[in-house]
């Protein structure tokens, strides 16, 4: 089977080539993102492999189908960038990697919290320049604080276990409650109560019509003054304009994000010599209490192995007409 991997970086190529011989596939790598303008690159391939910033809308699906593509394999968990109904209409199967090292994302969320709080990134830069002053580096004890977790799937659950180890009170909201987490002392509350009570709020839910812009002017107004908001899930969970207003008003005390709602034009690229046209990301970068990483929460050796193997196993199941356990229907 011939597979086209889009939005590929050197690390993607390293991991897929690591397992390529085990599966006997012919894999081609394209740095370009897959969308309606680049869909013709899929000619001659039975499967395309995509990532979070590829735009698989109805027109792209139509062109993929015309080119003979029968499978879209996401090497990620989220699939909000794929028109699943259009794929179904054109008899194209869509599979994903539902889980890849939940501890990786949970630990990165914890890293954002600790860095924002204790300002280790600023201290590092100061000491490198010979500045050993502690001025403006004061943090707070995380122990004893109330941490709200929105979404307690595998990643959210892993985060709850990590944050409990810091002596925090953990409250959560999810449409499904976990008996395991409740036995660990996690208290499930209505969403508005989680907003009201949290000193730190960490987002671990999928992006859908119910969660789009769930962090907005209305929900921010419910929060404590000086709240810390962490997002390692999907960028559009946060209304960026409203969050900027909350930061300007000092309602939001800290913001740590690994995702951004317009990240497809920015993340995974070196733009250090470019003039960035996104005014909102520039505004966020101007706040001293904002920390942004470029969608790297998943990026560990263990996660990359799991992503690659699961993706190839999904393709293998399709090729052999086996049940697609990770199909998006």
Q: Which position among 295, 302, 313, 319 bears the catalytic label?
A: 295
Do 169 and 147 touch, CB atoms closer than 8 A? yes
Place of tokens 């889980």: 99
**Can 261 be counted among the known catalytic residues?**
no
Q: Which position among 196, 263, 302, 321 bears the catalytic label?
A: 263
**Can 283 be counted among the known catalytic residues?**
no
Q: Which position among 75, 108, 234, 261 bears the catalytic label?
A: 234
What is the β-pairing status of strands 227-231 and 200-203? parallel
In whole angstroms, give the CA distance from residue 65 to residue 63.
5
Place of tokens 């949970």: 106
DSSP SS3 for 199: coil
Complete edge-to-edge strand list for the sheet that includes strand 200-203: 187-188, 169-173, 146-150, 200-203, 227-231, 252-257, 290-292
In whole angstroms, give the CA distance from residue 94 to residue 88.
8
Do 242 and 215 touch, CB atoms closer than 8 A? yes
Place of tokens 């990786």: 104
**Can 213 be counted among the known catalytic residues?**
no
Do 137 and 119 touch, CB atoms closer than 8 A? yes
Q: Could you give the residue ranges of the DSSP H alpha helices within the chain?
A: 10-23, 58-66, 84-89, 102-118, 120-128, 154-164, 179-183, 191-197, 217-222, 240-248, 279-285, 301-319
Do 252 and 220 touch, CB atoms closer than 8 A? yes
What are the residue numbers of the active site? Answer: 234, 263, 295
């Amino acid at each position: 089977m011939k597979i086209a991997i889009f939005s590929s970086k050197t690390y993607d190529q390293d991991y897929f080539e690591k397992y390529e011989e085990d599966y006997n596939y012919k894999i081609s790598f394209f740095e370009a993102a897959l969308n309606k303008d680049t869909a013709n690159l899929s000619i001659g391939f039975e499967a395309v492999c995509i990532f979070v910033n590829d735009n698989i809308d109805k027109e792209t699906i139509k062109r993929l189908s015309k080119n003979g593509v029968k499978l879209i394999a996401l090497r990620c968990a989220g699939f909000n960038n794929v028109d699943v109904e259009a794929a179904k209409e054109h008899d194209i199967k869509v599979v994903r990697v539902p889980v890849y090292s939940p501890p990786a994302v949970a630990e990165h969320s914890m890293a954002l919290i600790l860095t924002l709080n204790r300002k280790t990134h600023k201290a590092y830069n100061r000491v490198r320049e010979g500045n050993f002053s502690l001025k403006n580096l004061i943090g707070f004890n995380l122990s004893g604080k109330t941490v709200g977790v929105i979404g307690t799937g595998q990643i959210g659950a892993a985060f709850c276990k990590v944050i409990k180890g810091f002596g925090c009170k953990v409250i959560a909201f999810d449409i499904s409650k976990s008996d395991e987490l409740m036995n660990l002392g996690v208290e499930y509350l209505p969403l508005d109560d989680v907003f009201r009570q949290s000193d730190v709020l960490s987002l671990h839910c999928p992006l859908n019509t119910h969660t789009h812009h769930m962090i907005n002017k209305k929900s921010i107004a419910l929060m404590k003054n000086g709240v810390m908001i962490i997002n390692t899930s999907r960028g559009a969970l946060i209304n960026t304009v409203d969050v900027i207003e909350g930061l300007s008003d000092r309602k939001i005390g800290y913001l740590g994000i690994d995702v951004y709602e317009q990240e497809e034009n920015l993340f995974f690229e070196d733009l250090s010599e470019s003039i960035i046209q996104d005014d909102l990301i520039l505004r966020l970068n101007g706040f001293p209490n904002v920390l942004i990483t470029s969608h790297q929460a998943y990026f560990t050796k263990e996660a990359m192995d799991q992503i690659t193997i699961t993706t190839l196993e999904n393709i293998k199941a399709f090729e052999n007409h086996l049940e697609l356990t990770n199909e998006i229907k």
